[in-house]
A and B are shown apart, each in its own frame.
Chain A
Amino acid sequence: MDRKAAQERVDRIAAFRAELSALEAAGAIELPDEQRESLRNYHDSLMAGFQRDFDVDTTAGAEKLSLAMRIASALGGLAFCLALDLFVEQFWGRLPLAAQIVLLVAAPLAGIALAEFASRRERTLYFTSLLCLIALAAFMVDLTKLAELLALRPTPGAIFAWAAMALLFAYHYRLRLQLLIGLVLAATFVPLCILYVAGFRWESAFVRPELLLIPGAAMAWLTTRQAADFAPVWRAVATAAVLGSLISLAVWGYGTLLPIGKASAEGIYTLLSFASCGGAIAAAIRFHWTETTILGSVFFVIFLLSKTYQWLWDVVPAYFFFTIIGLISLGLIAAFRRLREANRVRPA
């Protein structure tokens, strides 16, 4: 059992206790005192064990504090990253070249060592996560500054190295934020690398959104092989890559790699975007993928608003355009409500 499963069990126990109290208050059930006592003792010992082994939250207040700690950890990581970058900038030029290189290389290595040290002393991994972020930021500063220091021409290779570090951290310590960063970097690396190898300006990869479909599709396929705690992150990045790519082409057909004109590309990708957003939302509801439901809905709204703007802004007066946007919003609310109704549990 991992921490996530233990926390889910604790949440179920809390819900069970609340429901049992409500049922007893309503007179729907009456447990003998002996049985109630035995059940309470069993649950108490179970929760004490989970608290000892996995540092789970056993009350609503503790859960809120845990969330606050996670947010503080992410914000702290971001602040330390900025501080590190600005510190290096501030004192950099005053050091000899060899000292600069040694410091650059030493910073991520120190981060890795500290993260490992922290991971052996805490169960919740808040500090480990923070130190992993710092090590990753130090590695980013390291390669960027080294390139500046030696006037090296940038290549996508650095993004690959950063993605590798983030993913190694994620899988070694089971950290979801590092997984998200690693997957986003990996999804970014693929189009950049393809253009670089093909001899084009690789920084232009994002004006060829179809290239993003490759990592998006690969990640969607790999999602099925992930553990329950990592699968939502894989699905979220895959969904964002695929839908982002399709919708960009539906709006800006110039970017297509297909041997067709702008209008044809926009027509094809408008249909594909519509089908993919709908498909993503339907699959997400069927399989209870919360993150895909949210992302699919957000991308669908962006897609509808972008196409409406493209089709109507120059044709109709502004007040009519915004009226149509309002009507689309009402339509979406009605559609989502129907979906919600369809998924509601019916009494036997």
Chain B
Amino acid sequence: MKLVGILIALVLVANGAALMGAWRNRSVVRSEFTVTEEQCSVQMGERNRPTTYLHCLFSQRWTDVWLNERRMREFGFDTGDSDRAAHQLPRRGFAAIRIGEPGAPAVDFAFDAGTLQERFPDRQTHTILPAELSATYATGPFQPRGAILVFLPAMAIPHGQAIPEQQPGQRVRFTAKIRIGRNYEPWLVEFHPR
């Protein structure tokens, strides 16, 4: 009976931790921004899995010069021309995203969010999101660079939301409002198909 009690406590503690985390996240709104099909995509449900999700992936590869060899060394990456350097693991941190621009480009990266909050205090123009930084290599002449990957966890779109039937291969057009909370986790506030 004692072990059954421990099992029940395990379930309650795990769920409690997740719910507390979500409640704590949503108790503070760090930023709020609008996305469209330019930045995010809708994954339609199907017969057995009818829930529709919004996926947002902001990534940057080769587009800006700021993630150069010097910055990558500062972030602790080996920028040498070796096998080991070419197979380094991505590191977790935070990226500053310029909102309201097509593609929502990442403009800076840091291991702690506070540094970026200080550099980009305007919540109307920038938002801070968890991101991954990995080393990439240009083909041709050896040129180490960084690549930032910013993805939000998938957000379920409310079940009652009518999404117009799409032609095969056609993307759902929409406007969605997303909030980022205290723990830099998002939640969907509004979703309007167009």
Closest to B111 in A: A199
Are the CB atoms of B7 and A169 closer together than 8 Å?
yes
Are the CB atoms of B83 and A152 closer together than 8 Å?
no
Are the CB atoms of A200 and B6 closer together than 8 Å?
no
Are the CB atoms of B49 and A152 closer together than 8 Å?
no
Are the CB atoms of A143 and B15 closer together than 8 Å?
yes
Secondary structure class of chain A's binding surface, majority of residues = helix
B156 close to A (CB within 8 Å): yes
Which of B62-70, B89-97, B167-175 is found at the contact surface with chain A? B89-97
- Residues of the B chain whose Cβ atoms lie less than 8 Å from the Cβ of A146: 15, 18-19
Q: Please encode chain B, from 74 to 115, with 1 for each CB lying within 8 Å of some chain A CB and 0 for all others.
A: 000000001110110111110000000000000000010000
B160 to chain A, nearest CB (A): 8
- Residues of the A chain whose Cβ atoms lie less than 8 Å from the Cβ of B82: 261
- Residues of the B chain whose Cβ atoms lie less than 8 Å from the Cβ of A151: 152-156, 185-188
Q: State A33–B42 Cα separation when bound (angstroms).
A: 83
B3 close to A (CB within 8 Å): yes
- Residues of the A chain whose Cβ atoms lie less than 8 Å from the Cβ of B86: 254
Are the CB atoms of A105 and B12 closer together than 8 Å?
yes
Are the CB atoms of B156 and A149 closer together than 8 Å?
yes
Q: Which of B15, B91, B152, B154 contacts A199 (CB 8 A)?
A: B91
Q: Please encode chain A, from 146 to 175, with 1 for each CB lying within 8 Å of some chain B CB and 0 for all others.
A: 111111111001100100110011011000
Q: State A150–B21 Cα separation when bound (angstroms).
A: 10
A249 close to B (CB within 8 Å): no
Chain B positions within 8 Å of A, measured between CB atoms, are: 1, 3-4, 6-8, 10-12, 14-15, 17-19, 21-22, 48-51, 53, 82-84, 86-87, 89-93, 111, 130, 132, 134, 152-156, 158-159, 185-188
List 23 A–B pairs whose Cβ atoms lie within 8 Å, in order of A's numbering: A90-B50, A105-B11, A105-B12, A105-B15, A109-B11, A112-B4, A112-B7, A143-B18, A146-B15, A146-B19, A148-B156, A151-B187, A165-B7, A165-B10, A172-B3, A195-B89, A201-B92, A204-B89, A204-B90, A207-B87, A254-B84, A254-B86, A261-B84
Chain A positions within 8 Å of B, measured between CB atoms, are: 86, 89-90, 92-94, 101, 104-105, 108-109, 112-113, 116, 139, 142-143, 146-154, 157-158, 161, 164-165, 168-169, 171-172, 195, 199-202, 204, 207-208, 254-255, 261-262
